[in-house]
Chain A
């Protein structure tokens, strides 16, 4: 009866739990990083009182949010009001589930830790398992699908709050998200065409190796440079971050679709936004920056390179937010439809031409 509890299952569950908690810690770390980097860009200190260098600031934030009172406007639709943050957060977590963050490994290095083999008889798994919470072979489509579901959290939050700021913010935000999804998907399509596979793991494996011995074969460096730019711009617009964050700008719309939310519901929206950022950065790393391949480290430590690259992209995200002014809403929509979408289509056509005629 208990024969299905194999070491593979245990390690797989361990990977799922690790990914889940890593996301939450990443969100907390992003909260700190955002405020510290913002402070340094603006030539002030940022948080430095709570804990050494202010590192416990996210903990203080979370405790504050949990202790706040949970409010709900009386005329708000009760089911929808509480469903919206749940949808947002669920979509954010689910999208990261199909992103692989390391090479296939059979955990034989665990057996090299002293006492493990003698205590449990474990000498490595019988076959390598994937380092992802759920590795499917149409991974890119799943990410795209779940990102499309993230729109619902925003639109329902705007509607269910029964307030004009929320409704306007929600409608604008969701219209922005679905407009930039097109360029997002076309950037994916170019990469899929080059790699010939829908599985993210295979796309990363095609980026191993070097040209001329020292330029890594990442898609973001040579063949898909513009694809990478288009993807990053569309990703920033998808996650409603500056300079595309008009719908939740404090100066314009109070706080947009999450005006009426407080305490844990607000924390869920907050969490969803940061985890969406992490997912966009992780997918960009896998598709355009070679994933877990990097010099100097052995294959089974590739996830360290993955984290370094994701960290760099997130730093870039935060840097952009505090450096660039934001787009006005009509400028934003015009940019998405009239400039980014044709650019993505042209990128796709050029890639298709190269794939057919040069056989890449």
Chain B
């Protein structure tokens, strides 16, 4: 009796999620995300592709950390021949995308100027099924605009990433998640000198039907992984106390 009840509830929950536009539950890209704890934050422990994610940044350093994190995320689900569209790409250095597992020649960089052009292009790109991911630099994203983006991705299962640099206000949007990425100290093997793998503190400020929280991750050359932050913290402690 109990079993059937939980089954029914589970099924109803799935249906509600699907109705809410959580499209990754309907056959999407296989996500090579391994066992990242950040996936627990999302419904059904799956990274939601076919949705729009929103990233808040404050400084240029934050923006670069965010761009790197987005590139790392994209490469976890990008098919071998996948195409990425990057809207408002001023300053992005294409060859660097290769380090995050994206072939830079598969990325189209578009430079719209007017706000209406940005909206039109992001929407069109999200609606295109042949495009795997769309990254857009879009500071003032209103609720209505984000709703339109959500409607666009629901048809195509394309994943959108909107970078909002210093938005005037953190208004509510229809995006599935709101992230804030900051860089953290990198660590190298056996404390060798030099700069190690890029490491981030990825904070999920809001997740629709999920759990907000902070996750520390790093890009280990070819995959995203949970970083052994405990060890680093202990080492840091040792260093301070001598």
A and B: partners?
A: no
Q: Which residues of B contact A (CB under 8 A)?
A: none
